[in-house]
Structure 1
Amino acid sequence: MTDCPYFDHLLIIPRLRVQNANALSSPLTHGFPSMTAFLGLMWALERKTSAAGLDLQFNAIGVVAHRHQEQITEDGFINTLRLTRNPINRDGSTAAIVEEGRIHLEISLVLAIQSEVLNTDPSTGDALARQVHDLLGQMRIAGGSVIPSTAPSSKQRPYLVHLTGDENDRYELFNRAKLRLLPGFVLVDRQDLLEQRHQALQVTTPEASKLDAWLSLSRINWNYSTDDQDNASTAKGEWTHDRENLGWIVPIPVGYGALSEVLEPGSVNNARDGQTAFRFVESLYGIGQWISPHRLHSPQQLLWYAGSQPENGLYRCHNDYQPTPIYAFD
């Protein structure tokens, strides 16, 4: 079990417009970039800030989606990606179609950071936030381009939240910050729903696997039921589905699992980096849920962080969201 790394500040960069981000989050899912893409953005941003001489350590990242527009063509029950032919060949001829799902986004980024400079001189926070925002504008987010605002407003100004005091003080500070992120939705991890569905399937189908549970949660399962089982063909019944009270749940990739041992640097042809050890991996899948930020009780419930277990071949994204129990009163 991993825990979210400690942090003492939240750097919030609100209302970023991203054009043509990658909508194919894995070989099996689409509709929003993978959280692995945002963790990669966080690490790339940390390298840029370090090169710029800024004292910042990025420990986790959260994403609030305000608007999205997936580039698809709707035709009845079938949606088709609007594909492009890119890049062209060296001689200028058109290359074969490369499937590239695209999506336009308006998002807010929440970065969990540590900084000795901010702890000793909090007055530098505004200038530092602007510097990070400017560096981010030069980068790509999930393969998409950041579109600068022609007339930035106060709602688009980056800011820092200093999480000082005891747990109650930190909660109050986060409580005010999360309301500034409305309206929007946050993607959280719901591994508990996957475990519950797996146990429910095993009641009737003992050989049901986690994959069966994941596929079951990835769709709406309808069931026709009637009180008169002896005359089910003529008796009046009703259709029900299994999504009631589940909320807006979606299948998501949550990291990578190893397919090979760690290979020596330079031993694999055409690897992106010949100086770093290489390992073949495949996507790991889980269940996520989109919820409103005002339902969160701590910044850890919003943030995603990496948890690597090379000895077990696991490179997974983690989120510490815990659903609030619902009590029934007579």
Structure 2
Amino acid sequence: MPTELPAINGVLVVPRLRIQNANAISSPLTWGAPAMSALLGSMQSIERSLGAELGLSFNGVGVICHGYEAQTTEGGYTRAFRLTRNPVNKDGSSASIVEEGRMHLDISLVFGVWGEVVGSDEVTRQRVAQAVADRLAGMRVAGGSVMPAWPRSAGGPTVQQKRPQLLALAPDETNQAPAFRQWRLRWLPGFALVSRDDLLLAHHAKLQATQPDASLLDAWLDLSRLNHHAQRNVSEHPQTGERVETVTWQHDRTAGWIVPIPVGYAALSQLYSPGEVTGTRDHHTPFRFVESVYSLGQWISPHRLSRVTDLLWYADHDPDTGLYRCRNDYRPPLPAQTAAELAFGFPSPFSASLAFTQD
């Protein structure tokens, strides 16, 4: 069974980070914005280095993208990544080129945190938030370098918009809503990444209605592209009365900015003891072979989120199945029919959560 987001009593916002040359290839099948596993790794690194000192537990992270620039060639339908030319070898021959996808990002990170310091005075909370921002400034985030913020004269954010903040959450979700409505407006313009496992489940069921052998991979690939269909229309000519046939092309992408994303890893082997496998990163951590797990995400404007937990991603580990997943508790607005069914006690078809591996 999937876990739930650990308890949080505040959010720590580090706005408008400029990241240069972040990793744009996060899995064997996808490219684009860095995977949430990379940002969860950055969060865990901060907690290990500063958590005990600051008295904070970091339990979730959300990302809002304000701008991006993929390092790809321009022009035409076929694009390629711009690759670096490495120095020549000792014998003067050309060194091999390692194909790496990179992109520049302008993002804001929102951490869900827990600690008594969240209830402190404004000066203390500002000191804690600045310490986290300073730590991030010296880190690699998704393989990219954190650059200094641009000056206001260059069209960048104001000093207020660049200031990190530690904000306290009300104890119940009802009282959190008014404050969150104010916070989310500060993150505009931008788009937040949320999980859409429900779309994958619904589209898989739709495909199986006409193609019983359709797999989750078929549904995922179908939603990862724009599918155009020819629509024939027959009408009468207004003057001659003859039957005229016309063809219009329509695509099936109506659910917003949907993207295929990697959401974690699934075990391919048993868990080996530390040092048992040659060539591992260290000899103190258990090791196992894994493959990528995929699902769907959606980039959505922050002002359309209704609660702070819609934004946050957190780690989930199921030792029985060997699944290491990044999860998000976003709940899309219910269609009118579904809302009526729930009001009368009928189950919703979008209540399940799933993902799949590349097998």
Q: TM-score by structure 1 length?
A: 0.92
Structure of higher CA gyration radius: 2
Match of 1:201 among 186, 201, 207: 207
Segments of 5+ residues of structure 1 without an aligned counterpart are 229-233
Which residue in 2 is equivalent to 1:231? none
Check whether the contact 1:59–1:112 (CA below 8 A) recurs between aligned residues. Answer: yes
- Give the corresponding residue for 1:170: 176
Instruction: Please name the residue that 1:327 is paired with.
Output: 336
Deviation of residue 118 (structure 1)?
Answer: 2.9
1:168 Cα deviation (Å)?
A: 2.2
Once the two structures are superposed, what CA deviation does each residue of 1:31-80 show, in whole Å capped at 9, x if it has no partner? 110000000000011112146x2211100000000010000003311111
Task: Give the Å deviation of 1:90.
Answer: 7.7
> Does the 8 Å contact 1:161/1:177 carry over to 2?
no
Q: For the residues of structure 1 that align with 2:262 and 2:70, how far apart are their CA atoms?
A: 18
Partner of 2:77: 77
CA offsets 1:228-271 (integer angstroms, 9 cap, x no match) = 6xxxxx94232221112x10101000100111110111011111
Going from structure 1 to structure 2, the CA distance change for 1:63 and 1:93 (only over 3 Å counts) comes to farther
Listed as ranges, the gaps of 5+ residues in structure 2 are 152-157, 235-243, 338-359
Match of 2:251 in 1: 241
CA contact (8 A) 1:85 1:94 kept: no
Q: Deviations over 1:70-123 (max 9, x none)?
A: 000033111110012458768896531111100000000000011123335564
Greater shift, 134-143 or 169-178, is seen at 169-178
Cα distance in 2 between the residues matched to 1:69 and 1:150: 16
Report the CA distance shift for 1:175/1:92 in structure 2 as closer, same or farther (over 3 A): farther
In the alignment, the residues of structure 1 paired with residue 188 and residue 261 of structure 2 have an alpha-carbon distance, to the nearest angstrom, of 23
Label 1:311 to 1:10 Cα distance change in 2 as closer, same or farther (>3 A).
Answer: same
Deviations 1:279-298 (A, max 9, x none): 10010000111100000001
Greater Cα shift, 267-276 or 293-302: 267-276
CA distance in 1, matches of 2:232, 2:94: 58
Q: Report what 1:13 is aligned to.
A: 14
For 1:61, the equivalent position in structure 2 comes to 61
- For normalisation by structure 2, the TM-score amounts to 0.85
Instruction: Give the percent of matched residue pairs that are identical in Structure 1 and Structure 2.
Output: 52
Contact 1:253 1:286 (C-alpha < 8 Å) held by counterparts: yes
Distance 1:239-1:93 versus aligned 2 partners, 3 A rule: same
1:289 partner SS: strand
Q: CA deviation at 1:225?
A: 2.7
**Partner residue, 1:34:** 35
How many residues are paired up?
Answer: 321
Shift of 1:227: 5.0
Distance in 1, Cα, partners of 2:303 & 2:90: 51
Question: What's the C-alpha RMSD, in Å, of the aligned pairs?
Answer: 2.0
Match of 2:352 in 1: none
Q: Secondary structure at the match of 1:80?
A: coil
